[in-house]
Structure 1
Amino acid sequence: MPNLGVNDSKLVSCPDTPNCVSSQATDEDHYIDPIIYPGSPQEAHESLLQIIGSEKRTRILTDQEDYIHVEFTSALFRFVDDVEFYFSNESAEETVIHVRSASRVGRSDLGVNRKRIERIRSKF
């Protein structure tokens, strides 16, 4: 399993391969907007757990107050992607959820990681 998590309020950087997106990436190929939730971190956390529960082939590996790590497994070839959510305290009015979604193997993901984050965002 890759070395993941939050260090100094940052998720691990994306590798040079195109099969990763992150709201903390500094380059546009890997960058994706964070999820903005109009409520408390606790409410955002609960909502996100419900959304993850509605997704197929998921397994929550880590569930902490400010961080969730989930494995998503593809239906056909059983590829595993690591998806991370970091609840940041950037604003009192809303919760910023930083995201990172990356394939464990291969180079290209045909946009699967980006589409997954956008699908999750749309369910908020």
Structure 2
Amino acid sequence: MKYIGIIVVIVLAIALYMVWGNLKQPDYLGLKNGQFAPMPSSPNAVSSQSEDASKKVEALPLKADIETTKEAVLASVAQLSEFEVVTNNPDYMHIVFVTEKMRYRDDLELYFDQEQGLLHYRSQSRVGYSDKGLNAERYAKFAVIYASL
């Protein structure tokens, strides 16, 4: 009986840790000198600024102007999943996706690099080690929709 109690406590602690990690906004979000945070060692993230080929996605061209680009971004993400725009600055946008089944949160960061004419993309799952390719798949869908607008 004593061991069952210990196991229950451990399982509850792990569950609470995962819930907290899923709800808490990560500290690494944001731009520093036009750069996103480095990629984690886990395979649950992709970025157009990654040096790791397995996590690298292509930056996309900006549209005619920032306003048009942001409209295309919002129209694109609206077709992907439930989302919330957390930050919308002139050169940076932070969007949180919520997965359908488990309600996990994934952070999408976009950098509107007007100097280079590029839309940089970074997406990472908040919890877990592997996302089973979800962030890469979401990027691929986003890129197709964005290019069509």
TM (norm. structure 1) is 0.90
Pick from 25, 31, 38: which aligns with 1:6?
31
Q: How many pairs does the alignment contain?
A: 121
Q: Which has the larger radius of gyration?
A: 2
Q: Structure 2: how far apart are the matches of 1:115 and 1:49? A: 18
Pick from 110, 116, 119: which aligns with 2:132?
110
Structure 1 residues not aligned, in runs of 5+ = none
Counterpart of 2:131 in structure 1: which amino acid? D
Identity %: 31
More helix by share: 2
Q: Structure 2: how far apart are the matches of 1:106 and 1:55? A: 21
Structure 2 residues not aligned, in runs of 5+ = 1-24
Spell out, residue by residue over 1:50-84, the C-alpha distance to the aligned partner (whole angstroms, 9 max, x if none).
22233331111111111111111111111110011
Counterpart of 1:43 in structure 2: which amino acid? T
Counterpart of 2:79 in structure 1: which amino acid? S
Aligned CA-pair RMSD: 1.3
TM (norm. structure 2) is 0.76
More strand by share: 1
Q: Structure 2: how far apart are the matches of 1:37 and 1:120? A: 14
Pick from 92, 96, 113: which aligns with 1:67?
92
Q: Structure 2: how far apart are the matches of 1:84 and 1:52? A: 12
Give the deviation of 1:38 after TM superposition: 4.3
RCO comparison, higher one (Cα < 8 Å, 6+): 1
Give the 3-state SS of the residue equivalent to 1:29 in structure 2: helix
